[in-house]
Amino acid sequence: MQHAMLRLVVGLLLCVTTTTRNIYGMNPPQPPRISKRPPPIAATRRMTPVVATGDSSDADSHFASPRITSPRIVYGSATPGADLASWRVLRATWIALTNRGTRHVIDGTPLEDRYRIRHGLYVDTDLLCGVFDGHLGHRAAEIAAEKIPLVLHPHLIGKPLTPSHVENALCHSFLATEDAIQENDGGTTATVAYVWPNIKRKKLVISVANTGDSRTLICDMAGNILLETRDHKAIDPDERTRVTEAGGIVLGHRISGSLSLSRSLGDLEQKHEHCGRATGLIPLPETYSYTMGTPCFILQASDGLWDHETSDHAAATVAAALASGENRQALLEQATRELYHHACQDDAIAPRDDTTILLTLLEPNIN
């Protein structure tokens, strides 16, 4: 009897096994696989209201969201020198647009760009504005945004303000900032414009210092470019010649086959001599000066914009926006958003790189 029952149980098991194989094949059914793909990145092409306002001298270290949202807008205005003679009065209105590129959203790293606005730094009528594009982290850009204005001030003291004196002071501030950056801080570009009063000529002057491939444009209200900085990349023929004459090697349009920039602040590991030869990577900025006679605007941006936009088209876009009405802040916002969305056209969601646009409207001789 027991043997009969055992044969019955074994027969039932064989029947169930055979049926299962006929339904699913040789492999038993697997539980449904849960996708580990991250949620889609939110689109940025929709025009949205201003999300924040505040003092744009802030270093903007609050970008830590793991998703792309709408670009952040910060704006402000000042009338430095309002209690002085009318020729020394300057009305400045600025707006900054910043957003993380898709590559930083995907890998979860923070925004590496910084910007800076300061007025009344040395005299009542001055204004400093700058954009800094960090790489290998945000620390070098953060240090440059904080330190350059602080170091510039003491280098201006003791001599009359002249273009050569101010440009020399800007160079000293860049080199002092280089000394403050540690090897593990990465590197950064820096493009800085300093507006100051030339008392002898009774004019306002804009002196600019630039290292790297962030760019500064000074334009009149018709969109004509009055001054434009030069991008410092190893692909540039003049920079390539300078690098090779210094003993550096350019491979694949990169210094030592690594960094596309030919000038930067930081990047100390790249600046170390290789096999007893200098790399040609330097922190020294190129400097420029322009004397203002009429209202103009300063457009500064990291290469998140310039990789997709020409200087001429950007200047024309801003000029067209500013000519369309009276509300300065609204017009500046319209212009920066148009520039940003134009930069998005080559990408489905947002530019791959971080993008910072700082637009400053200067109106001198306000009574």
**pLDDT tens by residue, 154-163:** 999 888 889 9
Query: Which whole-number Å values give the CA distances from 330 to 40, 76, 180, 317, 361, in the listed order?
Result: 31, 12, 38, 14, 12
Among left, alpha and beta (phi > 0; psi -120 to 50; other), residue 215 is: beta
Q: Is 235 part of any domain?
A: no
Query: Which whole-number Å values give the CA distances from 279 to 270, 282, 283, 309, 343, in the listed order?
Result: 7, 9, 12, 30, 33
Q: Is 49 part of any domain?
A: no
Is the pLDDT reported for residue 347 higher than 60?
Answer: no
Range of the domain at 120: 72-230+285-364
Q: Is 320 part of any domain?
A: yes
pLDDT confidence band for 7 (50 / 70 / 90): low
d(CA 303, CA 213): 6
Q: Is 55 part of any domain?
A: no
Q: Is 78 part of any domain?
A: yes
Place of tokens 């730094």: 121
225-228 vs 90-99, strand pairing mode: unpaired
Q: Is 38 part of any domain?
A: no
Is the pLDDT reported for residue 24 higher than 50?
Answer: no
pTM: 0.77
How confident is the model at residue 5, as a pLDDT?
56
Q: Is 197 part of any domain?
A: yes
What CATH number has the domain bearing residue 304?
3.60.40.10
Most confident of 252-256, 343-347, 361-365: 361-365
Is the pLDDT reported for residue 45 higher than 80?
Answer: no
How high does pLDDT run on average in the chain?
A: 77
Higher pLDDT, residue 166 or 353: 166
Higher pLDDT, residue 210 or 89: 210
**Overall number of domains in the chain:** 1
How confident is the model at residue 301, as a pLDDT?
96
Q: Is 322 part of any domain?
A: yes
Higher pLDDT, residue 204 or 54: 204
How confident is the model at residue 272, as a pLDDT?
75
pLDDT confidence band for 88 (50 / 70 / 90): low
Read off the pLDDT of each residue in 199-217 and give the average, rounded to a whole number.
91
Provide the greatest CA pair distance for the chain: 122
Is the pLDDT reported for residue 358 higher than 80?
Answer: yes
Is the pLDDT reported for residue 312 higher than 90?
Answer: yes
How confident is the model at residue 276, as a pLDDT?
55
Most confident of 71-85, 124-138, 238-252, 291-305: 291-305
Distance of CA 224 to the CA centre of its chain: 23
pLDDT digits (tens, 9 = 90+) for 256-300: 767 788 898 998 888 876 555 678 888 999 999 999 989 999 999
